[in-house]
Amino acid sequence: MKKIIILSLFGLMFCAACEDLDIPPKGIVTDNDLLSNESGMEIYMARMYSNMPFEEFKYGAWRGFNNSWLVSIGVEGTGEALHRNDICKAFTGESEPYWGSAFTLLRDANHLLETLPEYRDEFQEATYNHFLGEAYFVRAFVFYALAKRYGGAPLVTKVIEYPAEKDQLEVSRASEEETWDQILADFDKAAELLKPESLKRGYANKFVALAWKSEAMLYAGSVAKYNETVTGKLTGFGQKNGVRVIGFAADRWETASKKYFAEAYKAARTVMTEGGYSLYMKKWSATDREAQYQNMVDMFSDLTSTENILVKEYEYPTSTHGFDGYNLPYIFSSPLSSGTCPSLDFLELFEGFPRYPNGTIKVTTGNSNTEGYYELYDTPLKFFENAEPRLRANVIFPGDLFRNREIEIRAGVYTGALPINPLFNNYSYANAGTLYQHLDIAKTTPPTLYLSSNYGNDQTIVTLTDGSKMNAAGANGPVYGFGETCITGLYGRKWLNPDPSALEGEAKSAQPFILMRYAEVLLNAAEAAVELALAGEPSPTGDDMLQVATDAIKAIQERAGATQLAAKLASDLNSRDIVRKERRKELAFEYKTLWDLRRWRVQHDEGRDGFWGETRDKSIFSSSSRYRFRGLYPFYSTQAKKYFFDARFQWVAQWTFEYNPVDYYFAIPNDEVTKSPLIDQQPNR
């Protein structure tokens, strides 16, 4: 009897357990909860977009995504800017590789594509298609992020169920060409399914997909073509799978390049003709350079801008970033400063400055830095009075106003006689290590060149001829040995909040980041058009594509306050470089240049002639494998009561950059290579 009772109790417990297993656990969100209604889909979309590999304020080119510390833009060996510490290095990899996290987001996109059809009847057809289009856009974007870093990627286009047999869990890398073809197909499908307007700001729509397609295909076309310009050609096979994981076959690169450039052009043209976007010109005036400058400052914070295509928004205090906290001028230090200091080399891309015969900015009366005497200016800002308004929107000049305060930048005080000879007799790359501190005029007692080594108790105060006092380094430096000041003589302005009442400090900024804007689409169309013309290809849309390219560049130049093209672009390298240079100027500090230099294959020594988007004497900034950038340093002359400038290599932190052809593809994370029977390290590494 006891046995019967015990067995009966076990039976009751077993039945109860079976019943409990049929009840969904509390707190678990199911597909039915999310995919059967628009409210649930909003949650699903939010999850995907929160994990998108957008390169904005939470990205650091050295660290990678989800970075919230020391965010500085343009310091990755692009020549745009320099920085005080070790995040200032050539863009050869990310310390937190994107490889692993990419596949989590791919799973979300693939799950939506596979499962949403089960709930098709719950949505209107256009809405249902739009959600599918979002998934294709996300998948295309992730594959694009992988391809521009690694070349061929594992094309995971379906959900891989886990647990499963090991051979079912592993996906081999596809060839680079297959990867770009998949990106093309997914962007096309996204554009086909997405509505013309986003369901929510910051999400995709038809024209967002086409704009990103134009960028991705421009990258693909460039890689296919310019890999061929690298000595030995930049291509290779995976040892484990025998697939051409980087580069293109000898009989494929030319055809592939033409195809991708054509697709880039078609996508950009559709955005141009159907998207309804336009260049931001709310405050622009053809006759007022101040208005042109202010117009370009305002457009980076105006969420109503007709130029915005895709924007990452922030909101204080729930969603913030730290760009101001790390990049404001020293007088606003909160807690750091001076994270983005534009280079003189970047400045030289722009109009409005006197030049030496070799094209570099002129600061003396002679034909080079070592000839003649220094030109003198009543104020530092006088030197910049004819500069492009667009440059002033990118860069805080010495003596300019920011947040209603004059930004005093000074490298030192000179008390010697007039006229003033050049401080150095050698301004070459080889002599970059010779600093102002090494000059005899800085070491004598008393010196005739006063410099400061720090702020605080050991700052150098100079008594002027009228008895007044002057800090040798000025309020913002640069100060040798103290990296939180203006290390190049210039400050970055783009993205900084200009509001004097804005909060200062870490994680207190909320300005938006424009991920894609109409100006880039115009530049994409122009570059693709010239590349197609160079290849002898007709317009893929039947229009005069070189005229389209010319009009696009002229429109951007007009808005920028720059001199417009005098002649139509042609099918030649000069026209290609005109477009490249304009792109470098317009999209600076937007995480575009670091990828452009990679796809153009101009960052290694043999290709470095095209580094600036124009022909320059690379010996000015480069050795055989390394390169470095220059600053523009204002000094005050006590005898003249005026300022002069010295143009030389950055002297506060002696950064040099090195880049080799192998760096055009990031290394695969070693742990992925070790554990996988299919994934191996990049060829030649």
> What percent of the chain has a predicted confidence (pLDDT) above 70?
95
Q: Which of 193, 175, 195 is nearest to 109 (CA)?
A: 193
User: In the predicted model, is pLDDT for residue 526 greater than 70?
Assistant: yes
Task: Write out pLDDT tens, residues 278-298.
Answer: 999 999 999 999 999 999 999
Q: How many CA atoms lie within 13 A of 637 on its CB side?
A: 23
What's the distance, CA 485 to chain centroid?
23
pLDDT exceeds 50 at position 16: no
Domain boundaries of the chain, sorted by first residue: 31-53+98-273, 84-91+314-511+572-680
Closest CA to 100 of 167, 150, 59: 150
Instruction: Look at residues 599, 570, 568 and name the one whose alpha carbon lies nearest to residue 583.
Output: 599
pTM: predicted TM-score of the whole model, two decimal places: 0.94
492-502: pLDDT as tens digits: 999 999 999 99
Helix (H, G, I), strand (E, B) or coil at 562: coil
Encoded amino acid at 590, one letter: E
pLDDT over 50 at 323, yes or no: yes
Amino acid at 197: E
pLDDT number for residue 27: 60
What is the rounded average pLDDT for all residues in the chain? 93
Q: State the Cα–Cα distance between residues 579 and 365, nearest whole angstrom.
A: 32
SS3 270: helix
Task: Look at residue 3 and tell me whether its pLDDT is greater than 60.
Answer: no
- Is pLDDT above 80 for 168? no
| Dist. CA 454–CA 468, nearest whole Å | 21
The token pair at 136 is 């294709």
Pairwise CA distance, residues 260 & 540, whole Å: 11
382-401 pLDDT per residue, tens: 999 999 999 999 999 999 99
CA distance 129 to 473: 61
Question: pLDDT tens digits for 558-613?
Answer: 999 999 999 999 999 999 999 999 999 999 999 999 999 999 999 999 999 999 99
Coil, strand or helix at 246? strand
Beta strand ranges found along 485-627 (DSSP E): 491-492, 513-517, 626-627
pLDDT at 24: 55
Euclidean distance between CA atoms 262 and 221, whole angstroms: 9
pLDDT of 503: 86
Please tell me which residue, 483 or 612, carries the higher pLDDT value. 612
Query: Considering Cα of 300, then 304, then 307, then 309, what sign does the dihedral take?
Result: positive
Identify the residue whose tokens are 């005029």. Answer: 441
Average pLDDT, integer, range 421-448: 94
- Give the pair of three-digit tokens for residue 369: 């830095």
pLDDT at residue 20 greater than cutoff 50: no
Q: Is the pLDDT of residue 9 over 50?
A: no
pLDDT tens profile 30-63: 999 999 999 999 999 999 999 999 999 999 998 8
**SS3 state of residue 49:** helix
Q: At what angle do helices 206-226 and 253-274 cross, to 10 degrees?
A: 150
DSSP 513: E
**Which run of H or of E encompasses 530?**
helix 518-534
Q: Please choose, from the candidates 530, 537, 522, the residue with its C-alpha nearest in 3D space to the C-alpha of residue 575.
A: 530
Do the Cβ atoms of 627 and 645 come closer than 8 Å? no
Q: What is the per-residue pLDDT for 26?
A: 59
Res. 167 pLDDT band, cuts 50 70 90: low
303, pLDDT greater than 70: yes
Q: Are 488 and 409 in contact (CB under 8 A)?
A: no
Distance CA 537, CA 89 (A): 39
Residues 450 and 630: their CA atoms lie apart, in Å, by: 21
At 63-114, the pLDDT tens digits run 899 777 788 999 999 999 999 888 899 999 999 999 989 999 999 999 999 9
Calpha distance 611→217 (Å, rounded): 21
Q: Out of 3.40.50.720, 3.20.20.70, 1.10.10.10, 1.25.40.390, which CATH number does the structure's domain 31-53+98-273 have? A: 1.25.40.390
Average confidence (pLDDT) over 335-340: 91
Instruction: Give SS3 for 617.
Output: coil
* pLDDT number for residue 457: 57
> Does residue 438 or residue 85 have the better pLDDT?
438
Q: What six digits make up the tokens of 404?
A: 């209603």
β-strand 405-406 against 308-312: which pairing, if any?
unpaired
Nearest 5°: phi and psi at 635? Answer: -125, 150
Beta bridge partners of 637: 414, 642
What pLDDT is attached to residue 482?
Answer: 80
pLDDT, mean of residues 442-446: 92
Q: What is the mean pLDDT of residues 507-535?
A: 97
Residues 132-171: b if buried by 16+ CB within 10 A, e if exposed: bbbbbbbbbbbbbbbbbbbbbbbbbbebeeeeeeeeeeeb
Task: Please list, in sequence order, all residues whose beta carbon lies within 8 angstroms of the beta carbon of residue 18, skipping any fewer than 6 positions away.
Answer: none
Residue 322 CB coordination number (10 Å):
23
Q: What is the pLDDT of residue 113?
A: 98
Alpha-carbon gap, residue 57 to 320, rounded angstroms = 9
Please indicate whether residue 619 or residue 556 has the higher confidence score (pLDDT): 556
Q: What is the arithmetic mean of pLDDT over 544-557? A: 98
* Average pLDDT rounded to a whole number, residues 541-545: 98
Q: Which is it for strands 308-312 and 513-517: parallel, antiparallel or unpaired?
A: antiparallel
Residues in Cβ contact with 130 at an 8 Å cutoff, skipping those fewer than 6 apart: 193, 194, 195, 199
pLDDT average, residue stretch 347-361 = 97
**Contact present, 95 and 69 (Cβ < 8 Å):** no
